[in-house]
Structures are given as C-alpha cells and as structure tokens.
Amino acid sequence: MIKNLRLHDQSLFFLGSTGVVSGIFLTNIFQENTIFLLLFVCIVSIQILFFFRSLFLGLLFFFFCFSLGGYMSLERLQDIDTITTLFEKETVFFTQEVRVTGTLWEKLGETEKSARYILRSVTLGTEKLPEKVGILITFPDSRHKSIDDIIAFTGKLMLPRTNETFDYRTYLLLDQVYATTFATFPDKSGVNPLKNFAIFIRETREKLLSIIEDIYPGESAKLLEGILIGERANLSTETKANFNASGLTHIIAVSGFNITIILIFLSFLFRSFPAILRLVLAFVCVGFFTLLVGPQMPVLRASVFGLLAYGILLSGKRMRAFSMLLAVAVVFVLLDPLILNYDVSFHLSFLAVFGLLFFGDFFTRLFSFFPKWFGLREALAMCFGAMVFTLPILVANFGQISIVSPLANIVVVPLIPLVMLGGFLSLFGALLSSTLGIWLGFPTWLGLSYILQAVAWFGELPFATVPVQLGEYRYLFEIGYYMVITFLVVYFREENE
C-alpha cells in the first residue's frame, strides 16, 4: 500500500512538473497566441477523457499545471512589454537622446578599445525604472570608473540588435537589460552606499585578486583568477579563443560542473570528517565562493546545482537524483520562465550536473588507471560525464564542435585540483609573507604555465574545431541525441542494478 502511494506521489510529481515546463515552453514560443494553445490542449484533453475516463484527475492536474506555467510565462512577457513601453515613451521609440542616471552595477569585460558595464537603478528622463532594470553601457575605457559609481549622461539608447543566428535582445533580457548605449564622458554624481557585509565581500575579492597578481606573472595570474574566483574578463582574447577551440572553457566558467569539481576537491581534503560536516563545509565554501564571484542568477543556479549534485554523490541516493534535479529546475524556471527556452547557461548547468551524476560512474571505471589523489580520477570522470550531456547544446548554439576536446580534457583537467590546492596555499602564505606566497606559488605557476601551453597548442591546431550548421534540423538533432543518451542511461542503470 505504501509502495503504491509513493509511486502515485512520484507520478503526480512528474505529471505536474511536465505540465508546468511544457506550459512555459510553449507559451514562450506562441506568446500572444497562447489562448489558442490552451484551447487546443483543453480539446485534446476532452477527447482523451472520452475514451479513458479513469485519467480524469490526472489530466485535470496536468491541465492545471500547464495553465500555471503558461500564466507565469505570460506575466514575464507582460512585464517586458510594460518596461519596453516606458523606454519607448522616454526616447520617442529610441529616436531621441535622453538624460540617463544610474549606478554602475557590473563590469562585463574590457578590451583595448572599450569597456562594458551594466547600469541599474536607472532614471530615464523623468521616469524612475524598477531597480533591477538595466542598460548595457559601453565606454572607451574603464579609467575613473568603479562599480557602484552613480553616473549621469545624455545619450541615445538602442534596442539590442538581433540577427538570424543569435537573439541578442532576449539574451540581454534574461539579465533584465533592455537597451544598449555608448557614453564617453559621463558625470559622476556620487557612490552608491554599501552595507558592511557587501563592503567586506568586495574588499576580500579585491584583496585576493591583488595577491594573485602580486604572486603570479601575466596570463598565469589571470588564469588562476578564473579558476579560483571566476574572474575571466581579464584573460586575453587569444587565450579565451584557445579555451573555446580546445573545449576547456568549463575550467574558467562558473557552472554546475565547475562547482561540483570544487566540491569533490574539498571532499578529498575533508575526507576524514563525517558526511554531515563535509556537507556543511561545502555549503559554507560554495556560499562564500558565490559571493566572491558575484551573486548573479547564473552563478546562484550553478551553486545550487553543484551543491545538489554533491549532496547526491555524498548520500549515494542516485535513484532520486532525477526527481531532485527536476524539482530544482522547475523552481528556477518558475522564477524566470524565459530561461527554459533561451538561457544556454541554465541548459548547460542542468545537463552537466545530470551527466556527471548518471555517467560519472561509467567514466570512473573507464579512467580507473588514473590515481585518486586530490580527486583527480573523479574530476576527469565528472568532466566527461558532463561533456556527453552538454555536447548537443554547445553544437546547436555555437555552431562548432571541438574535435580535440576529449584529449585536451584528459591532458588538462587532472591538473585542476592540484592547481586549486596550490593556489589556495599560496594565497594563505602571502597573507603571512609575500616571499612565502611566491615560494608556495612556484609549483602552481608551473602548473598554470603548463595549462596555458596545452590550451594554446590544442586551440591553435588547424583541425581543433569543425563548423556544424544544423539550421532547421537543430531540434531534430537534439531530440535524437538525447533519446539515444536516455536509452544508454536506462541501460547502464538496469545493468548496475
């Protein structure tokens, strides 16, 4: 009786989750025609009930969850229309200059010719916009500009440009950014006051970055900043291109996979502690890491997915892994329905964690010849598990596949935990003495130099990447690929049982 009740509860959960997700997914596609979609689903449900009356409660629950998902998506789309209308009103449909005041919230990156920031807490002309609404602003450089500066300027705003291959406007809307602009000499009118804790986090981040740059030279320092703190904006364009071509971007990107690798490394260091204490330490470390990187939604999602994966690995209860992952994903989708269709970082975090949980054991056995020191074998196995599940998303969204990625990961990934350990030791040593920090950092510098050389060698190979233009067959490719992967997951799962 209890077993049947649990099965019923699980079925109800999957029915509700798929209802919410499908309602959001289809509403994001059909948008203003959603009413016709709801009518269609209702008619189909009635037809099914005519032949299968025993499914009445299940279909009713599914239709309710489908409608809830559609409603949440429509609310988000309506908010976008309302705020866009405010922009159009103040700028006369983006044709006239307007006075803009706001706070520099986040630095996105800098090149030799420009520096890009997100401006929030914006006042547009006489209209005060919601605090989270942002504008992407580009300056000639970053001199005399700091995060939390309150600036004012008069300029012409533009809608983000979208082309056939990339929907740039929707990409920015995921971060509540509605317009772009250029500014040369903005007026600085003050600094946004910070709370004591925010000041502590920012000063800690700046102190760590400063120590890294004092200990390590050139590109090695920038790479370590990316690995330890998620700061990759300072990496050279050439190095970033090589990381992309060699399929090693996950090393310097904050993702669910990246967080899980950090936790596996910490688990090795604290392996003698009880499981519950290791989980608490993991929460504390990841929480602090998230604050250092910056609590943007993609970082928060990556941290949650990473902690969830680590908790599942620690408990050994992988039978419930899919349900827990799906529940967390549904919560994130309800918070912002647009991410289901348009946020590649959400897709990659979810699928990477899914892959490392369900394919991690297979690759652990495959790489059994690797030593277990500092979690080297687990890191490599998790990496390949994540790669299997994220491959079609990467191919479909970036139009290329890295041929050298498997070999590059075997050569580079096992070194990451050692570099992380050496990096942390050198930072702590530098707090006591700069000379001690340099000596402790020397082995890590060798490791970083090796990684940069390997990334450059793989990335610059003429056959490193192969362009793949799927076009209208994109979704067919993704569906077929994941059908095969699902079959393999079920097959290996039954074999293990």
| pLDDT exceeds cutoff 70 at 4 | no
The pLDDT tens digits of the residues spanning 380-432 come to: 787 888 888 888 888 888 888 889 988 898 888 888 878 888 898 999 999 88
| pLDDT exceeds cutoff 70 at 117 | yes
Cβ of 20: how many Cβ atoms within 10 Å?
Answer: 25
Query: 59 φ, ψ to 5°?
Result: -70, -35
Say if residues 232 and 108 touch (Cβ distance below 8 Å).
no
CA 310, 315, 321, 324 dihedral sign is: negative
The region, left, alpha or beta by phi > 0 then psi within -120 to 50, assigned to residue 236 is: beta
Q: Work out the average pLDDT over 458-485.
A: 85
Q: Which residues pair with 118 in a beta bridge?
A: 106, 136
With 0-12 CB in 10 A as exposed, 13-18 as middle and 19+ as buried, what is 168?
Answer: middle
CA distance linking residue 416 with residue 428, whole number of Å: 18
Gyration radius (Cα) of the chain, Å: 24
- For a pLDDT cut of 90, what percent of the chain falls above it? 25
CA distance linking residue 460 with residue 242, whole number of Å: 7
User: 383 to each of 84, 123, 160, 407, 497, how far by Cα in Å?
Assistant: 41, 45, 35, 12, 24
Q: What is the mean pLDDT of the chain?
A: 83
CA distance linking residue 436 with residue 426, whole number of Å: 8
CA distance linking residue 493 with residue 360, whole number of Å: 12
Tokens of 222: 């920038």
Q: What is the pLDDT of residue 6?
A: 45
| pLDDT exceeds cutoff 50 at 7 | no
Q: Which of 243, 413, 254 is nearest to 348 (CA)?
A: 254
Q: What is the pLDDT of residue 374?
A: 62
Q: How confident is the model at residue 445 (pLDDT cuts 50, 70, 90)?
A: very high
CA distance linking residue 130 with residue 176, whole number of Å: 10
Q: How confident is the model at residue 29 (pLDDT cuts 50, 70, 90)?
A: confident
CA distance linking residue 485 with residue 365, whole number of Å: 18
The pLDDT tens digits of the residues spanning 329-365 come to: 999 999 999 999 888 888 888 888 888 887 877 788 8
Domains along the chain? Answer: 2-88 (no CATH), 94-191 (2.40.50), 201-496 (no CATH)
Q: What is the largest CA-CA distance in the chain?
A: 80
The pLDDT tens digits of the residues spanning 54-81 come to: 677 777 888 888 889 989 999 999 999 9
Q: How confident is the model at residue 102 (pLDDT cuts 50, 70, 90)?
A: very high
| pLDDT exceeds cutoff 90 at 313 | no
User: 482 to each of 15, 127, 211, 367, how far by Cα in Å?
Assistant: 20, 47, 45, 24
CA distance linking residue 451 with residue 247, whole number of Å: 13
| pLDDT exceeds cutoff 90 at 256 | no
pTM, to two decimals:
0.85
User: 330 to each of 14, 18, 390, how far by Cα in Å?
Assistant: 11, 9, 19
Q: What is the pLDDT of residue 49?
A: 65
The pLDDT tens digits of the residues spanning 45-60 come to: 666 666 666 677 777 8
Q: How confident is the model at residue 472 (pLDDT cuts 50, 70, 90)?
A: confident
The region, left, alpha or beta by phi > 0 then psi within -120 to 50, assigned to residue 43 is: alpha
Q: What is the pLDDT of residue 1?
A: 39
CA distance linking residue 430 with residue 432, whole number of Å: 5
Q: How confident is the model at residue 497 (pLDDT cuts 50, 70, 90)?
A: low
Say if residues 103 and 121 touch (Cβ distance below 8 Å).
yes
The pLDDT tens digits of the residues spanning 296-305 come to: 788 888 888 8
